[in-house]
A = this chain, B = another copy of it.
Amino acid sequence: MTRGYLQVHWSAMAKTASRKPQRGELTREMVVSAALACLDRSGLEGFSLREVARSIGVFPTALRWHVPGGRNGLLAEVASLVMAEVTPDRDAAADWRAWLEALFFRYRAAMQRHPNAASLLGAQLVSNGGVPMALVDGVLTALEAAGYREGALRDGYNAVIAAMVGFVTLELAPEPAEDQAGWADALRSRVANTVSDETRYPALARNARWLSGSAFVLRWENGRSAPLESGFRLYVAAFLAGLAAKL
């Protein structure tokens, strides 16, 4: 989406595939992993089929043969790939709460490995196809063990999936691609000003020390460089405690 004022040189191109594949050598897995590399490199906004193709050394239209569905179809495949190792083992299900807790932390760890995939999973219904059914079944099993049934089970399930995705999506929300430093500076001073306004925002002013730079809305880096670890732990603990109590 950032176009026109940024010429991408050939020299900056991806070296994902070190050599151009021969005819018939290009596989679906190659395309998807090159796409993940492109996402890691350029973010969701910057992600383009043409760049993926360029990184493999092939024409844009060649991708379509291996991965139908165009840009969104390819991103859905990438989502699957990132989600592949999130689901905890079955045997951890002896304790339903521990299993769900493991799920939350594993989801976050996966997104930390591929920060730009967070908005993909958190904000695109299309890529929800990327969520493994084993994960779905695991959540349901855990909630049944907790005592949830029928309509309440569905509600609990929806709450769990949303909770899993929610914090991390916001934590890793992408910064603007262009002029990152200038944007950060502008935001930092804006926060500094707001935080010192004791009459309008007293609670904010009282707690500025603890908040500036490490709280949503009041930060100028995303969760990649400034993780909100302890906030996430409280979030998970509170949610799980509430889930146990609400039955």
A: residues with CB less than 8 A from B are 1, 71-72, 118-119, 122-126, 128-129, 131, 133-134, 136-138, 140-141, 144, 150-159, 161-163, 165-167, 169-171, 173-176, 183, 187, 190, 194, 200-204, 206-207, 210-211, 214-218, 222, 228, 230-235, 237-243, 245-246
In the complex, the answer to whether A169 meets B245 with C-beta atoms within 8 Å is no
In the complex, the answer to whether A175 meets B126 with C-beta atoms within 8 Å is yes
- Chain B proximity of A60: nearest CB distance (Å): 12
Q: Which residues of B contact A131 (CB under 8 A)?
A: 216-217
Of the candidates B124, B175, B201, the one whose C-beta lies within 8 Å of that of A133 is: B201
In the complex, the answer to whether B123 meets A119 with C-beta atoms within 8 Å is yes
In the complex, the answer to whether B125 meets A173 with C-beta atoms within 8 Å is yes
Of the candidates B155, B156, B200, B222, the one whose C-beta lies within 8 Å of that of A125 is: B222
Chain B residue at smallest Cβ distance from A237: B246
- Chain B proximity of A242: nearest CB distance (Å): 3
In the complex, the answer to whether B133 meets A204 with C-beta atoms within 8 Å is yes
Of the candidates B118, B238, B246, the one whose C-beta lies within 8 Å of that of A159 is: B238
- Chain B proximity of A2: nearest CB distance (Å): 9
Q: Which residues of B contact A134 (CB under 8 A)?
A: 201
In the complex, the answer to whether B140 meets A207 with C-beta atoms within 8 Å is yes
* Interface residues of A, dominant DSSP: helix
Assuming A137-B201, A151-B210, is B174 touching A124 (CB within 8 A)? yes
In the complex, the answer to whether A150 meets B210 with C-beta atoms within 8 Å is yes
Chain B residue at smallest Cβ distance from A71: B1
Q: Which residues of B contact A144 (CB under 8 A)?
A: 203
In the complex, the answer to whether B155 meets A216 with C-beta atoms within 8 Å is no
Q: Which residues of B contact A137 (CB under 8 A)?
A: 200-204
Measured in the bound complex, the distance between the Cα atoms of B162 and A170 in whole Å is 6
Q: Which residues of B contact A215 (CB under 8 A)?
A: 154, 157-158, 161
Question: What 9 A-B pairs have minimum CB-CB distances, sorted nearest first?
Answer: A166-B166, A158-B231, A242-B242, A238-B242, A140-B203, A159-B235, A162-B167, A241-B242, A119-B123
Measured in the bound complex, the distance between the Cα atoms of B190 and A103 in whole Å is 24
In the complex, the answer to whether A122 meets B123 with C-beta atoms within 8 Å is yes
- Chain B proximity of A101: nearest CB distance (Å): 13
In the complex, the answer to whether B211 meets A154 with C-beta atoms within 8 Å is yes
